[in-house]
Every structure is written in structure tokens, then in C-alpha cells.
Structure 1
Amino acid sequence: MISMPEWREADTEVHPLWRRTFNQDWTGPDVAAPCPVCGNTGLHRWYLLENARPRKYDGIEFAGRGRLWEWCDSCRTFEHYPDGSVPSWWSAPYGPGIPDPGRTPEAIERARVAAHRRGVQGEPEESSRHAE
């Protein structure tokens, strides 16, 4: 069995690059850019809508208030934003039914891997795609 590293929050040194990386690709659950911590391509995001109240900020439509997790499936670095806005384009790609995930994205990552194995979102992924 492969041992995975422990989850760890992005530290203050990497935070500006982490934000830029995730903000540049704001169109879906997977981010195409390499991880600013380890260089592998396996970045993901997940929103949890908790208060559906559609609003528009700076021309961008949001479905309401909720939480956000961003993480790398390789080095398991993550950020958790407990109070934010969920974009209106967001649709939970691994199905509903992920109970309150907690602070780390562990439960969400397990659902993502299971969905890929079932073929919910294209080809199954057994491991991260590594940068050349």
C-alpha cells in the first residue's frame, strides 16, 4: 500500500503563488497549472454551497455563501476558506452526498478518486500527472 503524505496547509511563503495559480484557472474543479509547492499537476477545488442567495459582485454571478477547499492530490497541500462566495457555474462534479468534509479535503479527495474510478469524469486517474 502506498503511503500518502499528511495534509498540510499552504504556508505564508507559498500563499501568494497559490492564490495566483488558482485564480488564473477559475472554470471548474480541476486546475491545469502545476502545483506551486511540488510542481505536479493535480490541483483541485471544491465548493460547498451553504446559503443559496444568488448575487452579483463585480459582474460575476454567485450562487450564494459557502466554503472552498483547494488542494494538490500529490503533495496534499491545501487551503480551506470557511466563509466565501460560491460561483454560479459551480456544480459538484463527484455527486452530492459528501457529508461535511471538515477542514482538510480528505473526504472530497476520496470522492474525487472514487468518481474517476467509476468513470464519472472521464478516464480513471490512478495517480497524479507529473510535470516533465
Structure 2
Amino acid sequence: MQTWLFKSEPDVFSWSDLVARGPKGEAWDGVRNFQARNNMRAMKIGDLGFFYHSNEGKEIVGIMRVIATAHPEAKDDTGKWECVDVAAVTPVPKPVTLDAAKANPKLSGMVLVNNSRLSVQPVAASEWKEICRLGGVDLKKLKVS
């Protein structure tokens, strides 16, 4: 299983919006960056991702699961953009801010810290564990080692 980080502006699509979709989830569409699209192409069903509120808040607020692999985006007429479907798993009890991530030496190599503009990005296993620790997430409940 791989882990990821997905960014969304909360006034466009927020964590609470994803929670409201329930188990049917939502297509993570609107991504218009080739690197982010390629990251989604690498995802498998069951992969987990952090939900990051960008612009407002700038913090990791939830954990979601990939429920459908990359497929053509319905809103794209060009045929070059794809999306995955995701569903909410659990909120992060203590949201982890970008400033907290930047201040943590264990996260110095994290894509979020070094390229905060990339909207869909990989998260290394050690970074996942550290963010979960900072956010008060119980990894055993997520079945993630």
C-alpha cells in the first residue's frame, strides 16, 4: 500500500464535503498537472491519503481511501486528464499545519514541505507515521504499520 496527500481549497471542496459523500465517495477531479495526474495513475484501491486544506487553514485534516483507480475525468473534454475516486476514512484529531510540518526535521524531505503547490503527491511511509503521530491518529485502527 502506498500513501498520498491530496490538496483541496476548502471553499471549493472540503473535508466535510467528502465526509458527506459517505462510502460512495467522490471523484478527485479538476487536477490539471501532469505530475499529479501521474501520481493518481500509480494509485491502487485501498491506498490511503491525507486530505489537506490548501489556501485556508493549510493543514492536514483527514484521511481518505482510494476506492477506484485512475479513470477518465468526466469533466474533461480533452481526454488527457484522469482522476481517482476517494472516500473519507477518519478525521485527523489534531490537524497538522504546514508550519508544523516545515518545523519538523523528520518531515524535511516531504513533498508538501518542498513543493507545496503539487496537488496530489506521494507520502513516504516514515512521513505518514510522523504526520499521524503529530495528528493523534491511531495507525492500528487504520491497519497501517
TM-score after normalising by structure 1: 0.31
TM-score after normalising by structure 2: 0.30
Q: Larger relative CO (CA 8 A, sep 6+): 1 or 2?
A: 2
Q: Which has the higher helix share?
A: 2
